[in-house]
Amino acid sequence: MTDLVTDVLRQHAEDAFAAELAALAARDDRPRPERWRLSPWAVATYLLGGELDDGTVITPKYIGPRRVVEVAVTTLATDRALLLLGVPGTAKTWVSEHLAAAISGDSTLLVQGTAGTPEEAVRYGWNYARLLTDGPSREALVPSPLMRAMADGRIARVEELTRIPADVQDSLITILSEKTLPIPELGTETQAVRGFNVIATANDRDRGVNELSSALRRRFNTVVLPLPGSLEEEVDIVTRRVEQLGRSLQLPELPGGAQEIRRVVTVFRELRAGLTADGRTKVKTPSGTLSTAEAISVVTNGMALAAHFGDGVLRAGDVAAGVIGAVVRDPAADQQVWREYVEGVVRERDGWQDFYRAARENAR
Ligand SMILES: Nc1ncnc2c1ncn2[C@@H]1O[C@H](COP(=O)(O)OP(=O)(O)OP(=O)(O)O)[C@@H](O)[C@H]1O
Ligand SMILES: [Mg+2]
């Protein structure tokens, strides 16, 4: 555990929301699985938000179907692990962090999956200086985050599971099915204690990079995180996150924010769907994902531009460059898609003349 430092750039969920977690724990009289800090009900409330009977407000972390969260939390109380699947920017990492924070009070037992993730990152490694002086011993062994989670009965997180090479993925099978991690060098093992489980995330678009073996897939219950269902829902997500990020970046609150958020989300949704919101005009779809996460960063960047170089109001010109950057990934094809959208849709739209002008200026 690290000391609580308040000026770190990004606090862990368990630190940032320590007060909410403590309030929930104090109120929570439902049964808790062994070593869980909260009952499944309280974990779901922490994620979805709500008001406790003493008036404490729990802010929503995840905005989306309640059932998705309920199934995810319930899975972690069973002997199957949880796989959060979805297109980029659907809050897989975010939900995984908050689940681990609420259940174990610790979201830092994390293995980042990449094409180069070695087996040591999943199992254990050695402190070579000690290994040379003392030979193999418990003291020379460097446990992976997973091994620590097993020993302590906590939640471990594996990010981007499908990017991990297949043979390294396979070392997860023993952990998840036998709930033990053999250490042949010492003739011993680390057995998982109650409370241990794994949350993995994987990106829909990575499918086929390293397909999960069916043996491993069977150890997971897969929960798909959907894209926001409606414009209102997505505007709500972006508004909340921009507000939180703005606070931690110490940006002032700016008028004009609500209008530009709605505009960015509208553009993203229309281009994603290939259809305008009124259902009348077909538009071409660009190559990028245009995720909610990208909408959040476009607006946050716009806020910073407006705060430092603007007139104190968030304007179309502050977000236009960011929108174009998100849409135009492939300079040739996407440029054409964007131009058609600007001329065919934005130009005619009531109240969008400022955005039209900004889009044209930035395109040059
Ligand atoms: N439904 C949602 N509710 C709350 N926040 C959301 C939602 N969708 C996206 N976000 C926000 O989007 C941001 C990005 O989410 P995150 O990084 O978890 O996405 P991801 O699914 O892991 O993406 P990737 O596949 O690229 O890793 C987070 O700041 C998160 O708060
Ligand atoms: Mg992620």
pLDDT in tens, 192-201: 999 999 999 9
Q: 52 by DSSP, 3-state: which?
A: coil
* Among 61, 84, 94, residue to substitute to test ligand 1 (most atoms within 8 Å of Cβ): 94
Q: Do 36 and 139 share a domain, yes or no?
A: yes
- Residues spanned by the domain of 345: 231-363
Show which of 209, 224, 239 is a domain's final residue. 224
Q: Do 303 and 318 share a domain, yes or no?
A: yes
Q: Do 178 and 125 share a domain, yes or no?
A: yes
Q: How many angstroms does the Cα of residue 92 sit away from the middle of ligand 1? A: 6
Q: Do 28 and 91 share a domain, yes or no?
A: yes
Q: 153 by DSSP, 3-state: which?
A: coil
**Nearest alpha carbon to residue 158 among 220, 200, 217, 95:** 200
Name residue 331's amino acid: P
Q: Do 245 and 219 share a domain, yes or no?
A: no
- pLDDT on residue 249: 80
* Domain of residue 47, CATH code: 3.40.50.300
Show which of 193, 224, 255 is a domain's final residue. 224
* Among 199, 241, 243, 298, residue to substitute to test ligand 1 (most atoms within 8 Å of Cβ): 241
Closest ligand (CA of 245): 1
Q: Do 285 and 238 share a domain, yes or no?
A: yes
Closest ligand (CA of 96): 1
pTM: 0.92
Enter the DSSP assignment of 324. Answer: H
Query: CA 165, CA 210: separation in Å to the nearest integer?
Result: 6
Q: Do 280 and 341 share a domain, yes or no?
A: yes
269-290 mean pLDDT? 93
Task: State the CB neighbour count (10 A cutoff) for residue 3.
Answer: 4
Q: How many angstroms does the Cα of residue 151 sit away from the middle of ligand 2? A: 26
Query: CA 231, CA 269: separation in Å to the nearest integer?
Result: 8
Q: List pLDDT tens digits, range 62-109.
A: 999 999 999 999 999 999 999 999 999 999 999 999 999 999 999 999
Residue 288 has which token pair? 């990028």
Enter the DSSP assignment of 282. Answer: B
Q: 83 by DSSP, 3-state: which?
A: strand
Q: Do 133 and 273 share a domain, yes or no?
A: no
Q: List pLDDT tens digits, range 297-345.
A: 999 999 999 988 988 889 999 999 999 999 999 888 999 999 999 999 9
Give residue 206's pLDDT band: very low, low, confident or very high (50, 70, 90).
Answer: low
Residues having CB closer than 6 A to ligand 1 are 62-64, 86, 88-94, 201, 203, 228, 237, 241, 292-293, 296
> Is 34 within 8 Å of 103 (Cβ atoms)?
no
> Is 181 within 8 Å of 174 (Cβ atoms)?
yes
Q: Do 112 and 152 share a domain, yes or no?
A: yes
Query: CA 147, CA 123: separation in Å to the nearest integer?
Result: 6
Query: CA 123, CA 100: separation in Å to the nearest integer?
Result: 20
Q: What is the mean pLDDT of the chain?
A: 92
Q: Do 152 and 210 share a domain, yes or no?
A: yes
Domain count, the chain: 2
Whether pLDDT at 8 is above 90: no
Q: List pLDDT tens digits, range 119-169.
A: 999 999 999 999 999 999 999 999 999 999 999 999 999 999 999 999 999
Q: Do 204 and 239 share a domain, yes or no?
A: no
Query: CA 318, CA 154: separation in Å to the nearest integer?
Result: 44
Looking from the CA of residue 205, the nearest atom of ligand 1 is 25
Show which of 174, 196, 224 is a domain's final residue. 224
Closest ligand (CA of 288): 1
Q: C-alpha angle with apex 146: 143 to 151, nearest 5 degrees? A: 75
Q: Do 211 and 238 share a domain, yes or no?
A: no
Q: How many angstroms does the Cα of residue 245 sit away from the middle of ligand 1? A: 13
Lowest mean pLDDT among 55-59, 126-130, 208-212: 208-212
